[in-house]
Amino acid sequence: MARAKKFTRPTKPPSRLPLHEGILKHYLLEFTPLFENWQESGNFPQSILLTGTKGNRKEDFAHYLCQWLNCHVSSPKLNFSPESETFNLFGEEPNVSKMKNPTPCGVCPECKRALGNNWIDVINIRPESAVEGRAGLIRIDALVPIQSTLGFGPSEAPFKIILIEKCETMTTQAANALLKTLEEPMKDWIFILTASDTTRVPSTIMSRCQRFNSAPLSVALTKSILIRDGVEEEKANLIAHLSSGNLDKAADMAEGDYWNHRQNIAAVLSNSNSAANTLIEFAGKNVAHLNQIIDQLELIVKDGLLLVTNQDHSNTQPHLVNKDLETSINKFIKSSKKHQTSLFWFDRFRDIQEIRHKIHAPLNRKILSQELIIPWLSLQEGQR
């Protein structure tokens, strides 16, 4: 059994399994009928594309799917063909009741591998970590482990699984190489791809995959995860509303920087030049900062539009997302006739979209930040 190691593995990232109980529930709600169907038929699509909004933890669920596919209890292959070699290795009799169990056992050798992130038959490909100002990419080199095992089936698990996270970040070269592999399906090979932005997934790859869409995480779930991670309840509640089911964004929001600049945004709404300058400095530093301010202003625009279009129905107060800034936003609207028109808010919405578009272009970020923030100050009116 002992084999000499021919290469050193890159540093291993921590396991994403077991899934957070709430996240698992969220996915099982949608996927249990499919799991049952796959178990009963003994079939699983050769290649699937799991889509859904950013930060909804579909990548974690994809890891769960790998565990589920290869677990000696839940795998559709083992349940369907009890005579298979792997099943007999354990000397077990076929047990039909297992077919109704959609969850992995957590104790078989494959589950242990999954939980320890020590996969043997799963090749996990993800974008290289993002360099400041550039999106992380999946380059053709990352696909070498696939190419080098072509023609070989799984060594111990029921399936050999190629899991490609955020597949929209593949370079054209990488996507073409992957496409060739997808076009020549091999026995017991399964491809699981995930993507948040399907407009960036080549149509040739889309057409080779069965697509499953996953929902954003609920406010309640996001809140409970934040509280578990030590965020106080009131803040967790606000962040859960602000992050619209994106747990990555929620985690960023929970950090100190975010709240400091939220105070500055409130001050900009009160026409503070110095707060505007601080924000411009911050947003001008890098793409992540600029994105953070854009996201916050976009949510304020949504609330502003809601309040302005609701002006005539003064007896009903609409529910704002930015609960903590409610007073500031209301004051801001009352401070000027201009702010009471939908036009002002549509203009700000347009600025935001334009700046989002320009964000990765080689433009001066400080100027972009000024374009974003200055229009919020009531320069001519100078009134509060």
Residues that bind Zn ion (CB under 5 A): 71, 104-105, 108, 111
66 vs 319: CA distance, rounded Å: 41
Instruction: Tell me what percent of the chain is helix, strand and coil, each rounded to the nearest 5.
Output: 55, 10, 40
- Smallest gap from Cβ 193 to Zn ion, in A, equals 24
Strand runs labelled E in the chain: 47-52, 122-125, 160-164, 189-195, 210-214
- Tokens found for residue 1: 């059994």
- Tokens found for residue 110: 């494959």
Separation of CA 235 from chain center: 22
Question: Where does residue 361 fall: left (phi above 0), alpha (psi -120 to 50 degrees), or beta otherwise?
Answer: beta
Going by C-alpha positions, the residue among 262, 332, 270, 328 that lies closest to residue 292 is: 262
Q: How far is CA 318 from CA 12, 63, 124, 134, 349, in A?
A: 48, 40, 46, 39, 19
- Residue 87 or 345 having the CB closest to Zn ion: 87
- Residue 99 or 105 having the CB closest to Zn ion: 105
- Smallest gap from Cβ 109 to Zn ion, in A, equals 8
Q: CA quadruple 266, 272, 273, 275: dihedral positive or negative?
A: negative
- Smallest gap from Cβ 113 to Zn ion, in A, equals 9
- Smallest gap from Cβ 112 to Zn ion, in A, equals 8
- Smallest gap from Cβ 108 to Zn ion, in A, equals 3
- Residue 16 or 249 having the CB closest to Zn ion: 16
212 vs 311: CA distance, rounded Å: 41
- Smallest gap from Cβ 111 to Zn ion, in A, equals 3
- Residue 73 or 195 having the CB closest to Zn ion: 73
- Residue 105 or 251 having the CB closest to Zn ion: 105
- Residue 73 or 368 having the CB closest to Zn ion: 73
